[in-house]
Structure 1
Amino acid sequence: MRLLFVTSEIFPLIKTGGLADVSGALPTALATTGVDVQILLPAYRGILAQCDAPQRLGSLQAFHDIRCDIYQTTLPGTRIPLLLIDYPALYDRYGGPYHHPQYGDWQDNPLRFGLLSKVAAMLAVPNMLQSWQPDIVHCNDWQTGLTPYYLQQMGSMAKSVFSIHNLAFQGNFHADWRHRLTLDDQDFQPAGYEFYGHLSFMKVGLYYATALSTVSPTYAKEIQTEQFGFGFQGLLQHRIDDLTGILNGIDTQVWDPATDPYLPANYDASTLQAKSAVKQALQAELGLQPLPNAPLLGVVSRLTHQKGLDILVEIAHELLASGCQLAVLGSGEPALEQQYLALMQQYPGQVAVTIGYNEPLSHRIMAGTDIFVMPSRFEPCGLNQMYGLRYGTIPVVANTGGLADSVQGGALAADGTLPDTMTGLVLAENNPSTLLVTLKQAIQIYANNGQWKQLQKQAMQQDVSWETSAKHYLDLYQDLLDI
């Protein structure tokens, strides 16, 4: 089975969120099952230099005025072929893959990701670059949404899977872009790529892909509702037979407290006492008071309304009055960033806020905190709660999407016994008062050393690897090829 995996970001080369982690881990897991996989990615600034001996395969005339070079290398740390689209005018820029340094979208994003989609389709028909052609093209989020359309337009025999990582980000642009991107005018209609008068990359993927997947079973159900469908619920209900929810896994080699090179001490479920050394070092690193028994809460997240972190700010004063500490790493909405920075100023030594992205620090927060907070208003899958399970850092999560699928809540029995299925705490409702009550419950369990150690061990026993998820994807691919 030959698979082309198309993505706009991938760990460890370029990362803004969970898509990069998935893109790095899923192809690797699939390759171990015997899938012949190649990955396609834009050559953003500095990426060619990060790769081992990239070889130029040739060039492709993607659009009438764009001829791009294609380089082949391997994904760092693997033997998986990585194809890179080298077109400096679109990709060699200072800033992120989607935003310029001032956080606004690149104005030519339709062309930047239209090119990614077009090249993916061109690699799935006979071409001069390589004899290898995919049986299946796996597309990820709106940035690759035009791929299934181009596959159809070019008469490719490859089947397509379009994975929805976050339906809220849709790639909706002015309708005039359809001409620049060589989309047929006759398809600019509701039964096509038109979405409320706009060209929607997400709509193209949802409408034209052979099969659709989401990153958790619960999210697959949620996006068929008005609350979470963002205008696509009708189309998704129509395609319900083509829609599958597969819970993400995590890279259990990268995220392993027993071997994690970013930690000052390593530990596993049988040596949990070493976790306290990591906590002590984290408190020192972040300027928090060296209080080993103070419950330390962690947040590693985009600071956005979606993530529900405004809810956490709202209860912070009452929460901190209980004596806990808070460590936050992330960036996002400027107003929310300022609220967290103000909180740090108000509670020196009790609150630490780091604005930005820092992979090593994210590992240390994951390992050094006691409780991990994720009150997301919606969460297609979420990976941090799985990192928390893996690291014995108990997740407190909203009852939505992949959070609901991966964290098992529970209540103490009348005699104080902890359910042996419990791996974290799940909010009954997602509002400030419920979050405060639930965090206080977590702190109460933390105060009972025996219960807390039991809960940590139950969390760390969970299978959060990609192996199970990869088998589900393999089944999906095989079903498509059997059609």
Structure 2
Amino acid sequence: MASVLMVASEGLPFVKTGGLADVIGSLPGALADQGNEVKVVLPLYRKIAEKYMNDLYFCCEYTVSINYHEVPVRIWSTMVGPVAFFFVQHQGYFERDSLYGYDDDGERFAYFQKAVIEMFNQLNYWPNIVHCHDWQTAMIPCMVRETHDHDDRYRRLKFVLTLHNMAYQGNFGPEMLDSCLGLPWYLLDNGNVRYDGGISFLKSGILYSDKVTTVSPTYAQEILTPQFGEHLEMVLNMRKYDLWGIVNGIDLSVWNPATDPAIPHHYNKVNLKANKAKDKADLQRELGLEVNPNVMLVGVVSRLTWQKGFYLLMEQLSALAAAPIQLAILGSGEAKIEDAFRNMENEHKGKVCFYRGYNEDLAHRIYAGSDLFLMPSLFEPCGISQLCSMRYGTLPLVRETGGLKDTVTPYNEYDKSGNGFSFSSYNANELMHTLYYAADVYYNRKADWETLQTNAMNTDVSWAKSAATYNQLYNELVNR
């Protein structure tokens, strides 16, 4: 078994903007359950400081060089079950309103990564594996290899980089190479970090890590192609024999219809039919939808962006409004998509509800109270929502891409297998055809629908199998 440090830019239970936080909130515990020593390090954002500062323990203080100045670092820690969490504190860089989206993001996360590298020395903590997540941590392998190779302690570190979404790469101007990262200019000349006239954190991580993983087997193959590789497909093909696709899981203690405190009526496979109907009725009341047990309620919990496939829905708003369904949408994102759903709700009160923003408890109630869950993504590295919906006996309707293809098996009307519905082409007509097909099963083949619900709830969406695969990966590196 291995000693592992997870380095990430967000993680539950402390802070979340996307699926990365769910992974960091549950994968370390699953790895610890299998005998590994797992620690996590995150930036100390304002949201964390405001809520948790009194529970944190001071570890140490030191400085790192950023923009040719020595900048102070303070490290704090706490325990979450068997997992130790470290936090890198710098009020100017991290105690802001949002986690990302600032002009100095490159400098902020260069500082974070430098702070983590020096943290090993300051705490005399030397894990077997440093597991980096996404561009915000992807320069760590490069910086260690290029600037600490004289130190045996650093030379023994093994690096894993997980790609959660290739669309976000951390591309910045070349001046950062020396000023913030402290790296030699020849890395720009030889191409190791160069990208489009500047530097790429993600490209560097792909080249310098010992192993590269992504969050589903299908996405691991997709990113080797120009369609999904986001201009890094050639770099990924250089590392394809070290590229692993390991599907995500979810925390079964959080996502559990039998105990979930956010839903009014608890259920399992035995009393699914009776109590899920009660949750549906309560959700309809809460959202101002017509309380009707017989209409198919379709749920959406998502960022409303081009990636998530909502342009397909915008092509079919009239057909969607005319379909024999109710629609409950929770999310925020592009103004064009938000406006379309807001107008749709105004024109179809009682049939459509659009809740702009995010509400964690309401998300749980939508998973529990909906009959069908819609995820028509253009691309989806793994996806968490389809796993949550299946856990609650809500059948996902997805496009066959990335982790959606790996986790959702389409309904087979002949042998009654499957745990949801899917379509292959990124095409609005194919989406609507599949939606009407699902509606036909819901209204006219009740026994089949109930079988699919049972199949969905029987689907293993835990971290156990994935954690075992990570163990295999870690062991390969440790035993080299």
Distance 1:118 1:340 in 2: 44
Is residue 420–residue 458 contact of structure 1 (8 Å, CA) maintained in 2?
A: no
| Stretch of structure 1 that moved more, 307-316 or 23-32 | 307-316
Structure 2, unmatched stretches of 5+, are none
What is the CA–CA distance in structure 2 between the aligned matches of 1:292 and 1:420, rounded to whole Å?
24
Amino acid at match of 1:475: Q
Counterpart of 2:215 in structure 1: which amino acid?
V
**Aligned equivalent of 1:291:** 292
Within 2, Cα distance between the matches of 1:328 and 1:442? 18
The unaligned stretches of length 5 or more in structure 1 are: 99-104, 414-418
Q: Contact 2:417 / 2:452 at 8 angstroms: preserved in 1?
A: no
d(CA) in 2 for partners of 1:365, 1:189: 52
Cα deviations by residue, 1:290-326 (Å, 9 ceiling, x for unpaired) = 1111101111111011100121232232133133110
CA distance in 2, matches of 1:350, 1:15: 31
Of 144, 148, 152, which residue of structure 2 is paired with 1:151?
A: 144
The 5 Å alignment of 1:288-367 reads: 288-367=289-368
Whole-angstrom CA distance in 2 between matches of 1:421 and 1:360:
31
CA distance in 1, matches of 2:111, 2:95: 14
SS at match of 2:55: coil
What displacement does 1:410 show? 3.5
Equivalent runs, 1:242-281 vs 2, <5 Å:
242-272=242-272, 273-281=274-282
Q: What are the Cα deviations for residues 438-459 of structure 1, in whole angstroms up to 9, with x where unaligned? A: 0011111111321111110011
In structure 2, the partner of 1:416 is none
Of 125, 129, 141, which residue of structure 2 is paired with 1:136?
Answer: 129
Query: May I ask how many residue pairs the two structures share in their alignment?
Result: 466
How far is the alpha carbon of 1:188 from its aligned partner?
A: 1.0
Deviation at 1:49, TM superposition (A): 4.2
Q: Is the 8 A contact 2:160 2:212 kept in 1?
A: yes
State the 1:57 CA deviation.
0.9
The 4+ residue runs of structure 1 with deviation greater than 6 A are: none
- Amino acid of the residue matched to residue 171 of structure 1? G
1:479 aligned partner: 476
Match of 1:102 in 2: none
Equivalent position SS for 1:306: helix
Change (3 A) 1:301 1:189: farther
Look up the equivalent residue of 2:135 and give its one-letter code: W
* Root mean square deviation, CA, Å: 1.3
Pairing partner for 1:87 from 82, 87, 90: 90
TM-score, normalised on structure 2? 0.95
* Counterparts of 2:290 and 2:174, CA distance in 1: 55
- The answer to whether structure 1 residue 61 and structure 2 residue 47 are counterparts is no
Match of 1:160 in 2: 159
In structure 1, the partner of 2:75 is 70
In the TM superposition, residue 109 of structure 1 has moved relative to its aligned partner by 0.4
Work out whether 1:457 is the aligned partner of 2:459. Answer: no
Could you tell me the percent identity over the aligned residues?
Answer: 40
Could you tell me how far apart the structure 2 residues matched to 1:420 and 1:160 are? 44
**Alpha-carbon distance in structure 1 between the residues aligned to 2:429 and 2:293:** 27
Amino acid at match of 2:177: R
* Partners of 1:121 and 1:154 within 8 A in 2: no
Q: Distance in 2 between matches of 1:403 and 1:457?
A: 19
SS of the equivalent of 1:68 reads: strand
Deviations 1:173-214 (A, max 9, x none): 122122222122110146311111121111111111111000
Give per-residue Cα distances to partners, 1:81-117, cap 9 Å, x unaligned: 11001100100112x211xxxxxx2011011111222
Q: Which string of whole-angstrom CA distances, capped at 9 and with x for unpartnered residues, describes residues 1-51 of structure 1? A: 211101111112111111000011000101111111110000000313433
